[in-house]
Amino acid sequence: MAARDHWSRREFLRVSAMAGGGLLAACSFQQDSDPLAGGAGPEPEVPPPGPGDSWQANAFVRIAPDNRITILVGSAEIGQGTSTAVPMMLAEELDADWSLVGWEQSPTARDYANPKTFSQLTAGSATIVGLYRPQRRAGAAIRAMLVRAAAKRWGVSEDSLRTEASRVIDDAGGRSASYGELASEAAQQRAPTNPTLKNPADFRIIGQAKRRLDGADKAKGATVFGSDFHIPGMLTALIARPPAPIGRLGSGADTPERWNHEAALAVPGVEAVLAVDAGVVVVAQDFWAAKQGRDRLDVQWKRSSKPHIGSGEQRQRYTAKLDSPGLVLQRKGRGAQGLRGSGVISADYHFPYLAHAPMEPLNVVIDHAPGRCEIWTGTQWPDGDRGVAARVLGMQTSQVKFHTLPSGGSFGRRACSAHDFVDEAAQVAKVLQKPVKVLWTREDDIRGGYYRPSASCRLSAELDTQGLPASLSARLVTQSLVGNIGLDELATLGGAESNSAQGLTDLPYAIPNLLVDAHNSYDPVPVLWMRSVSAGFNVHARECFIDELAQAAGQDPLQYRRRLLQAQPRLLAVLDAAASAAGWGAPPAGHHQGIAVFSAYGSHIAQVVEASVDETSGLKLHRVVSAVDCGTAINPDLLIAQIESAVVFSLSSAMFGEITLEDGVPQQSNFQDYPMLRMYQTPRIDTVLVNSGGEPGGVGELGVPAVSAALANAIFAASGQRIRELPLRKHVRIE
Amino acid sequence: MRSILSIIKGPFMPSSLFAKRSAYRGTARTSLRARLHVLVLLLLTLPATASPLFGPIAEVLRHPRCMNCHTVTDFPRQGDERRRHAQLVMRGEDGHGAPTLPCAACHQDTNIDHAGVPGAPHWHLAPLSMGWEGLTDTQLCQTLIDRSRNGDRSIDSLLEHMRSDPLVLWGWNPGAGRTLPPLTHPQFMDALQAWRAAGAPC
Amino acid sequence: MPTIRINGADHAVDAPQDKPLLWVLRDDLRLTGTKYGCGRALCGACTVHVDGQPARACVLPCGTLGEREVTTVEAIGGSEIGRRVQQAWAEMNVPQCGYCQSGQVMAAAALLERIPHPTDRDIDQAMSGNLCRCGMYTRIRAAIHRVAEGL
């Protein structure tokens, strides 16, 4: 354990004094996971930076003379609370006075990469998992330097000093000094190579339900999101995109053939109408003029040769493919090839395309002139976006200054593997050469593609004499998230396909014979990961199917799962905790319960939904109980908020979410036909933490996949109806 | 009326029918009590024999553009399928929505075409007394002319309301994507005048 | 050129009469606390107060405001209830991404001004026009109750 806390060979911390006093620390830790780093050898102490070193650009902790500490966060704040939880981890080891800690979004630079994603990509529920140790190491190292500075100042041994609330305290000498006072001297100390990390039992900040550092500003409407960002002389652009979002930008998309240039230009405030690969762009003084101009464009589109698919036709194709073997992703025991005939229980589940629909539609502010470019946007992937912008503009990445702003939601949409929204904005800027904000309307967002893929999943099983599954086969038809971003060769590898098979290839249940195979369908619809990725459909199908097996075996769904999860103590613990908190088996009269489980990102969850269905198929949600074990919670209240969020997100998708295509064109456009749960439809949500200690797991996506299955299972309990396709509103009435 | 009377007075079923189905002959003469029972059932289920002059008017009033805000519930409806209004929009005490989410939070004096939000001056639900859902033509007609329920309107002022009230007129100018009532507004007025001329029969 | 009264000050705005108040606030006056979410009065992110009543700025033509007084999230903290709502929001970790919260705060303030001690049903009726994609409804409800306790 201690060894892991050493700075690795190419990991370093640079600390220096700030002009006017204070301390500024720069840290690089992304090489922790760099496969090329290799090699052991002694780890040299890193000397303080000399004049001219570029440490300032990468500073990630600032201690000001007035004792205020600012922690720069390299992960994106998309609502999940990184702007609070990441500083908490560093402040813990620093022994900072939390009331004086603030945060800032970091610049876009390698030093801020998350070792789990090898970049500044904020995704995969990896922020806490990836930064738990690096942030703590950095805090511990800076604390050690502050202690050294105080020891030197007072001529005492470091061991005789302790720290608390941003002060170094000399109990014997009856004196103390604030970090702010010591900062300049601390900056002259050598950074330790192996700072000692605290015993978790001594945590004073980690594990506390601290308020969000961004909460007050957000309640005041004072947070500057990308769509709020403004620079002098900035114009506003809207893009008329092809009605069918097929293929990647500029490659096989429908192309604009004719449009009413003059009508758009005639709108007061419209400055220019441009054609770029992304579509026809109306540039105006402000949004309203741009919108009026775009409404008058009347673009005639030339269809590409790519097929324009329909959802009904796709469903038929997927269903047919379920009958033929796919690429084997996992085989255990004797597989499950022989599953056919009587005694085999089988069910097909179908899932639609989903739109992320973050509350803040996409937007990019870009200021480009020859040899220079600066970009401001809410994104989960600033370094990736910057690379794409540089490519489009024919510039060096280093010439593009990229600022990440808080995102008004994202759920994966702003981690676009095609970086479409920044790509487009760069196309506009390249022609315009003026500062411009490219805005998306809600309709652009819902119709713009990059959907969570649609999928069909067939699950088949044979039960043993105990009623437990002896063999299970899972066959999946979907679009590969990797294959559809142009990495087709990767898509044929099991590793890439497994991106689509989350929840199937990591089955927690003890089933001796298992076969998971998949068909990658190359539909010309751009797809993208959405919160919980493929687990969103696979775990839904799996957990509904386990319920069907329990029913076939005549067993209680909770007890059935318990029998299959004996080798999964953490999952078993959350299952029992959820059942107990929900009063499993004894719901209020007329209410019915469903249960489901999910493990990923080092975390475990069990969820119980309590619902009722009336004689007119009217569905009402009453309560959702979740029990979570994520090891260690950095901020338990924000963890609970994430689960609450995931519950509403998942139930919204399960009940309402569906993008249908006709002739390639999405049929939904705004919240009236892509609805989500509202206040009055939201059930009581209770979340129980049963953390087992140890390394923290991820929680941002954890609460999504199981709860929708628990709902479908509750509907079965209430009505006897097995609904095997989403959204549920096709089968139950929801007002 | 003749057929109804015949239930009480006469042979209940045509004798030609019974000639072929002798098994029923024994029951051909049913008791008066049973006949009255059937009569009540028939009266409940028969289409109302409303004035033919009111029929076309009823068709207009029953159109979703009118009916969605002439509900008998504590909420308005939306769309031709008459789904419950989204967002938990309520009738409120005065028909203008809950004071915390009034109709006017979204609905302006005019249609907002860019948003597809319909609007007209004093946008609100008709009072419950003017709720038309579930009524037969006759009942609808009676509700319409009942001064205790129609806002104390005479037939003349009722016609004036239909002619000039901006909320009524909105029904024929509901904005893009909304269907229109089966009659044009002039046809509707003609129908109302013909009905009035005949003494506003129900 | 309409003159509109916003947060206690008159603004002569060089904008067409039918330009929605939302875009006058955001683009002409740079009061960006009021958010665009749907443009069709479906999400409530643009909620402001007009003479104290909640209204969706995205469908409110600026030329129809006349003498009516507009209050935005930038000024709602000036009222006792508005200040308490914002405080409860921060204390109870209500915001996640925060984008919808300007509208939520405005809707909640309007509710509590009219009904200082709302029932859950009152809250449902006042707040169901405001979408929160992060799904913080249970926290919004709890925070409204928290504010009510102090009134």
- What sections of A34-100 are H helices per DSSP? 82-94
B158 and B76, same domain (yes or no): yes
List, for residues C56-84, the tens digit of each pLDDT value.
999 999 999 999 999 999 999 999 999 99
Q: Do C54 and B105 touch (CB under 8 A)?
A: yes
Q: Which residue has the tokens 């049903």?
A: C121
What is the average pLDDT across C14-42? 97
Q: Which of A337-351, A364-378, A595-609 has the lowest mean pLDDT?
A: A337-351
Q: A192 falls in which pLDDT band (50, 70, 90)?
A: confident
pLDDT at A26 over 80: no
Q: Single out the residue of A479, A212, A235, A539 nearest to residue A352, CA to CA.
A: A479
Peptide bond into A508 cis (omega under 30): no
Compute the distance between CA of residue A511 and CA of residue A513 in angstroms, rounded to an integer: 6
Find the closest chain A residue to C127 by CA distance.
Answer: A679
Q: B94 and B129 share a domain?
A: yes
How far apart CA B174 and CA A560 sit, in angstroms, is 56
Residue B143 lies in a domain: yes
Answer yes or no: is pLDDT of A483 > 60: no
Answer whether C123 touches A (CB < 8 Å): yes
Same domain for B79 and B154?
yes
- Tell me: pLDDT of A488 over 50: no
Give pLDDT, residue B36.
Answer: 56
pLDDT tens per residue, range A46-75:
444 333 332 223 467 999 989 999 999 999
Evaluate if residue A1 carries a pLDDT over 80: no
CA A271 – CA A265 distance, rounded (Å): 7
Higher local confidence (pLDDT), A110 or B161: B161
Mutation target for C interface from A359, A380, A626: give the one with most C CBs within 10 A.
A359
Distance CA A155, CA A460 (A): 74
DSSP annotation of A257 reads: E
Residues B22, B83 within the same domain: no
Same domain, B67 and B36: no
Q: Tell me, what's the pLDDT at A250?
A: 53
Return the bridge partners of A129, or none: none
Please report the pLDDT score of residue A289 as a whole number: 98
A430-454 average pLDDT score: 97
Task: Look at residue B154 and tell me if it is in a domain.
Answer: yes
**Residue B106 and residue B142 in one domain:** yes
Reported ipTM: 0.99
Asked if the Cβ–Cβ distance from C114 to B102 is below 8 Å, we say: no
B159: in domain = yes
CA A409, A415, A420, A423 torsion-angle sign: positive
Counting as low any pLDDT under 50, the low residues of chain B are 1-30, 41-48
Q: Is the pLDDT of residue A281 over 50?
A: yes
Nearest-Cα distance to chain B for C129, in Å, is 5
Chain C: residue nearest B104 by CA? C55
Q: Is some CB atom of chain A closer than 8 A to the CB atom of B88?
A: yes
Answer yes or no: do B103 and B154 share one domain: yes
Torsion-angle region of A269 (φ positive above 0: left; ψ -120 to 50: alpha; else: beta): left
Tell me which chain A residue has its CA closest to the CA of residue B78.
Answer: A672
The interaxial angle of helices C80-91 and C101-114, nearest 10 deg, is 130
For chain C, domains (ranges, CATH) are 3-75 (3.10.20.30), 76-149 (1.10.150.120)
pLDDT one-digit tens code per residue, A120-177:
999 999 999 999 999 999 999 999 999 999 999 999 999 999 999 999 999 999 999 9
- Is A698 in contact with A129 (CB distance < 8 Å)? yes
Q: Find the mean pLDDT for residues A547-561.
A: 98
User: What's the token pair of residue B201?
Assistant: 């029969």
Q: Same domain, yes or no, for B149 and B176?
A: yes
Q: Of A291, A294, A672, which to mutate for an interface test with B (greatest number of B Cβ within 10 Å)?
A: A672
- Average pLDDT of the residues in A682-690: 98
Domains and CATH numbers, chain A: 2-216 (3.30.365.10), 226-305+362-439 (3.30.365.10), 311-353+451-730 (3.30.365.10)
Residue A617 gets the label, from left (phi > 0), alpha (psi -120 to 50) or beta, of left
Residues of the domain holding B189: 55-197
Out of A47-56, A164-173, A525-534, A535-544, pick the least confident.
Answer: A47-56
Q: Provide the pLDDT confidence category of residue A248 given band limits of 50, 70 and 90.
A: low
CB A122 within 8 A of CB A85: no
The pLDDT, as a whole number, for residue B50 is: 75
B98 plus B35 within the same structural domain: no
Same domain, B90 and B143: yes
Q: Is the pLDDT of residue A7 over 60?
A: no
Smallest Cα distance from B91 to chain C, Å:
11
**Residues of C within an 8 Å Cβ radius of B:** 20, 39-42, 47, 53-56, 58-61, 64, 107, 110-111, 114-115, 122, 124-126, 128-129
pLDDT (0 to 100) of residue C69 = 98
Q: What is the mean pLDDT of chain A?
A: 90
Residues B59 and B28 in one domain: no
CB contact under 8 A, B105 and C55: yes
**Model confidence at A24, in pLDDT bands (50, 70, 90)?**
confident
Q: Which of C98, B46, B144 is nearest to A83 (CA)?
A: C98
b/e per residue, A147-184, with b = 16+ CB within 10 A?
A: bbbbbebbeeeeeebebebbbbbbeeeeebbbbbbbbb
pLDDT category at A489 given cuts 50, 70, 90 is: very low
Tell me: the pLDDT tens digits for A636-650? 999 999 999 999 999
Predicted local confidence at residue A436, as pLDDT = 98
Q: Beta strand A161-164 with A167-170: parallel, antiparallel or unpaired? A: antiparallel
Whether B68 is in a domain gets the answer yes
- As a whole number, mean pLDDT of residues A625-633 equals 98
- Could you tell me if residue B50 is inside a domain? no
Q: Is A400 helix (H, G, I), strand (E, B) or coil?
A: strand
Question: CB–CB of C101 and A679 under 8 A?
Answer: no
Provide the pLDDT confidence category of residue A9 given band limits of 50, 70 and 90: very low
Mutation for A interface: B74, B88, B89, B113, most A CBs within 10 A: B88
Q: Is residue B202 part of a domain?
A: no
Number of domains in chain B: 2
